[in-house]
Amino acid sequence: MSALYWRDALWLWAIALPLALPLLALRSQRQRLARIIEPALLPWALDPSRHHGGARRRLLFLAWALLCVALAGPRTVAWAPPEVRPADASVAVVIDFSASMAASDLRPTRRQAAIDSLRQWLDQSRQPPAIGLFVYAGRAHQILPPTSDRRLVDHFLSRLDRLATPTLGNDLAGAIELAADALKRHEGFRSLLLLSDGDMEPAALDSAIAAIEQAVPDADIHLTVVGLGGAEKVALPAALASEVLQQDRAVLTRRETASLKALASAGGGRYLPAESLRGQEIDTIATLPVARIDPDDAGRVLWNEWFALPLLAAIGLLLLALRGSGGTTAALALMLFSGGVLWQQPLLAAVSAEELLAQGDYAAARERFARQKGFRARFGEGIACYRLKDWTCARQAFARAAWLAPDDATRGRAAFNLGNAHFQLGEFEEAAVLFEQAGRFGAPAGPVRRNLEFANDLAESLRKYRIHLEMVQRKAERLAAARDIPEGLLEKMTEGVWLDLQNNRPDIIRRLGRERVRQLIHEGVARSLGIAPKSTPASRQQWTGNNRSRQPKDSIGLLNRLLPLEAGIGAVPERPYRLEGARPW
């Protein structure tokens, strides 16, 4: 029902007329008879025939109600321009990854129970909001900024149990600040959902409360705290306590309800125990409002009109109620007439993916193309992703389009665009190879030559610095405590390549923009160093470097290598670091 709109909802009030009119008539009749008949005799004087024909009256009333619904004009959105669509709700989900979440009072662990619960709540939702994922232990980390791409959210949630945080502790305050900053970038309703057992030291709790009091009201964020774990204390696994936490005694933990309620109260939110949320959906838990299109913008929307369904149902009920009477012929004639009208005025069809692409609604076009098959669908999906600056998505779509191309000409177009996607990811050598192939398949010679020469220039400049970059990488790995040094070194190397190129390709530099070219060089240098760049989704796709034996196999493997760098640790630790002055669980 949340997706249903009405052309003229006032007609729904007419449903009550068959109920109101008989009541008024009965009241008037009682008043007339009361003037001439004793009250005790009044029930005997009323017309008993009103009790007959009850089944027919009910059918007629139901038919009348359906006719009123049809007149009210039920409809749903077939397509709406981006500027009139209601802003999507955004939910930043903060999951406690501290050591206490390894307790097994929830199966298999509290941490896994939190991840499984979140996936179930999303599965129950018909229109999930934009979801962001954040975790914290000794440091807070952003895993995924709020996104409406459900497949991307599912991808990370299905692998999140293998995430290894590099530090021990409870930096909930940092996680609140990260999540609030991410939500500030999104329009519409903002919600923060915290999944934790609340087991933290008083200092960490005080810091988290202070962070909530400052960040949540400022960003107009609605806070929900979900508690995990049991009320009784349980021991953490012995191996975890001895090897990781370095405790020679059993470490006991339980759900600290008082702490969780204090966190919720600080943000004006609510606290919910996890066991009370089975079968719930994310919309209810995060108190998301129903997103509606403004009635003033209804004229700019293409609608799917559904008045035909209640109209035909009403006519069918009339035929049933009036069978055997003179009204049958009239009802049948009305049904045939209505069917003819509906045949001449079919329901509005949804806008095609190509039209959405032409209108600039790239997000909707990508979603529509993703549900289709064939070369045109993959090529259109690649264009939509490219316009959205999702280079990784564009690379995948254009690669599939190249394999599905029916002839060399279309394969050349796909290869050329695939080369552009690789170029935007800082993969200059791959882009050069694809531009050459596109030229052989008949792609326009001018753009192919221009892009090929520029890609070769960037690739060659990076190759010149290869030896120096390897030395910088080894030095950066030794400087684990110096968090900003690798970035500074990257800037230095970038400037060296940039100065060499400014005089060689001024035309392309003007066309792309000086800042974009500099950014591309920065990303290419970072790939050569083995340090993932922060400014593009390319960092989530591939890790390049010399240490091939430690290549991550998937996105979580990449994160397990990135998080230590984010925490100021130059190498992946064998076990999480203890932070001075902080309780390790």
Residue pLDDT, tens place only, 318-360: 888 877 555 555 555 555 555 544 444 444 444 678 878 887 8
Q: Decide if 561 is inside a domain.
A: no
- Nearest Cα to Cα of residue 485 among 544, 570, 579, 547: 570
How many Å apart are CA 517 and CA 495, to the nearest integer? 11
Per-residue pLDDT tens over the stretch 525-567: 666 555 544 443 333 333 333 344 455 667 888 888 888 888 8
The bridge status of strand 130-136 relative to strand 270-273 is unpaired
Pair (394, 455) in one structural domain = yes
Q: What backbone phi and psi angles, to 5 degrees, belong to 49? A: -65, -15
| 383 and 498 inside one domain | no
One domain for residues 323 and 269 = no
- Give the separation between CA 92 and CA 194, rounded to whole angstroms: 8
Per-residue confidence (pLDDT) for residue 473, from 0 to 100: 59
Same domain, 444 and 361: yes
Residue 95 · residue 133 · CB < 8 Å: yes
326 and 226 part of one domain: no
Q: Is residue 559 part of a domain?
A: no
> Are 101 and 157 a contacting pair, CB within 8 Å?
no
* Residue 447 burial (CB count, 10 A): 14
- Asked if residue 216 and residue 96 are part of one domain, the reply reads yes
In a domain, 35, yes or no: yes
What pLDDT score does 478 carry?
53
Q: Per the domain annotation, does 216 fall within a domain?
A: yes
Shared domain check, 329 and 188: no
Q: What is the pLDDT of residue 40?
A: 72
Q: For the whole model, what pTM was predicted?
A: 0.56
The pLDDT of residue 230 is 92
Phi-psi label, residue 390: left if phi above 0, alpha if psi -120 to 50, beta otherwise: beta
- Same domain, yes or no: 102 and 63: no
User: Domain check: are 492 and 417 in the same one?
Assistant: no
Q: Is 285 within a domain?
A: no
Q: What is the DSSP string of 66-95?
A: HHHHHHH-EEEEEE--GGGSPPPPEEEEEE
The 10 Å CB-count burial string (b at 16+, else e) for 230-257 is eeeebebeeebbeebbeeeeebebbbbe
Chain center to CA of 169 = 29
Tell me if 244 is assigned to some domain: yes
Instruction: With CA atoms as reference, report the closest residue to 157 among 141, 134, 138, 173.
Output: 134
Q: Could you give the CA distance from residue 490 to residue 460 in angstroms, rounded to a whole number?
A: 17
Same domain for 177 and 195 = yes
The CATH number given to whatever domain includes residue 205 is 3.40.50.410
Q: How far apart are CA 161 and CA 298, in angstroms?
A: 45
Domain interval for residue 247:
87-278
pLDDT, residue 550, reads 52
Co-location of 240 and 381 in the same domain: no
| Domain end among 262, 278, 294 | 278
Q: How many domains does the chain fold into?
A: 4
Residue 560 lies in a domain: no
Same domain, 410 and 446: yes
- Tell me whether residue 566 is in a domain: no
Residue 440 sits in a domain of what CATH number?
Answer: 1.25.40.10
DSSP 446: H
d(CA 506, CA 538): 26
Written as tens digits, the pLDDT of the chain (585 aa) is 667 889 888 999 989 888 777 777 777 767 777 777 777 776 666 655 554 457 788 888 898 999 999 999 998 887 777 667 776 789 999 999 999 999 999 989 999 999 999 999 999 887 788 999 999 999 999 999 999 888 889 999 999 999 999 999 999 999 999 999 999 988 889 999 999 999 999 999 999 999 999 998 878 899 999 999 999 999 999 889 888 888 888 999 999 999 999 999 999 999 999 999 988 999 899 988 877 787 887 777 778 888 888 998 888 888 888 775 555 555 555 555 555 444 444 444 446 788 788 878 888 888 888 888 889 899 999 999 999 988 989 999 999 999 898 888 889 999 999 999 999 988 888 899 999 999 998 888 888 888 888 888 888 877 776 666 566 556 555 544 444 444 455 665 566 666 666 666 666 666 667 777 777 777 776 665 555 444 433 333 333 333 444 556 678 888 888 888 888 887 788 889 888 888 888
Residue type (1 letter), 276: S
Last residue of a domain, one of 399, 433, 462: 462
